[in-house]
Amino acid sequence: MWNDTELLICYHCSNRVPHKRVGYQRGQELFEHIDGQRHNEDFDYYLYQCPTCQGISIYGDFSGYSRHESMEQTRIYPRGSQLLPERHKVASTKCVPERIQRIYEEIWPLRHIAPNAFAGQIRRALEFICHDQKAHGRTLFEQLKDLSSRGVFPGYFSEITELMRLIGNLGAHAAEQEVDFWDAELLDDFFRAVVEYVYIAPSRIERLKERIDVRKQSGT
């Protein structure tokens, strides 16, 4: 049960301000599937409004069986800085390096209000991924190309070389080049796609294998 007023980051205007609860509804969601039986449980939806931009954010959780440690983890809309899918869909919530998750959470609110700064930080996060994936090359652009040619990044990324060149140059020449919020959104999508491909997809596959193994064992 959340309070009438909660200090939250608004992912519409990026301000951290006390939000007021403006709505509450209880519904039901599938909670468990045991021995062929589906079990639904009560699920609470909370609407909070930002006093700065009047934007609405929606949070939700099972009434009696919370699977979350903080309110932030229950955010349904807008998705904002959440990189990971729901935790039962991956083998480990640690599949994305903590540092990447932390940087992204910090910078996501900047993407519309300070696109230049956002681009610079996305560049930093990509540098970290390149280092983590042992990319070869002197510049970020070369490293991204190297990962793409080795298949660490998906093939279609190599066709958007121009975007990678742009990313490689951003931040390095931030003063000369204005990044607007459309660029920031493209960078955001690119970055999320990279994280999905490099870190999250392998963990999803691992999770799927785990589930298949459980089936096999219970079937024999």
Tally of CB atoms within 10 A around 169 = 17
Tally of CB atoms within 10 A around 33 = 9
Instruction: Choose one: 54-62, 69-77, 83-91, 166-174; the region binding Zn ion (CB under 5 A).
Output: 54-62
**Helical H segments across the chain, by residue range:** 98-107, 110-113, 115-132, 140-149, 155-158, 161-169, 181-195, 201-219
Residue of 55, 60, 85, 120 that binds Zn ion (CB under 5 A): 55
Rounded to the nearest angstrom, the gap between the alpha carbon of residue 5 and the centroid of all alpha carbons in its chain is: 25
Pick the closer one to Zn ion by CB: 12 or 192. Answer: 12
Pick the closer one to Zn ion by CB: 11 or 191. Answer: 11
Backbone φ and ψ for 102, nearest 5 degrees, come out as: -65, -50
> Which residues are 21's β-sheet partners?
48
Residue of 2, 13, 85, 91 that binds Zn ion (CB under 5 A): 13
In the block, tokens 């459309």 appear at 182
Give how many residues touch Zn ion by CB under 5 A.
7
Per the structure block, which two tokens stand in for 194? 């990279």
Instruction: Choose one: 2-10, 80-88, 107-115, 162-170; the region binding Zn ion (CB under 5 A).
Output: 2-10
CA distance 182 to 118: 12
In whole angstroms, the minimum distance from the beta carbon of 200 to Zn ion comes to 28
Position 50 contacts Zn ion (CB under 5 A):
yes
In whole angstroms, the minimum distance from the beta carbon of 113 to Zn ion comes to 11
Residue of 2, 12, 72, 103 that binds Zn ion (CB under 5 A): 12
Residue of 53, 76, 208, 214 that binds Zn ion (CB under 5 A): 53
Rounded to the nearest angstrom, the gap between the alpha carbon of residue 171 and the centroid of all alpha carbons in its chain is: 22
In whole angstroms, the minimum distance from the beta carbon of 40 to Zn ion comes to 33
Nearest CA to 12 among 59, 58, 50, 60? 50
Position 73 contacts Zn ion (CB under 5 A):
no
Instruction: Choose one: 44-52, 71-79, 82-90, 202-210; the region binding Zn ion (CB under 5 A).
Output: 44-52
Q: Which residues bind Zn ion (CB under 5 A)?
A: 10, 12-13, 50, 52-53, 55
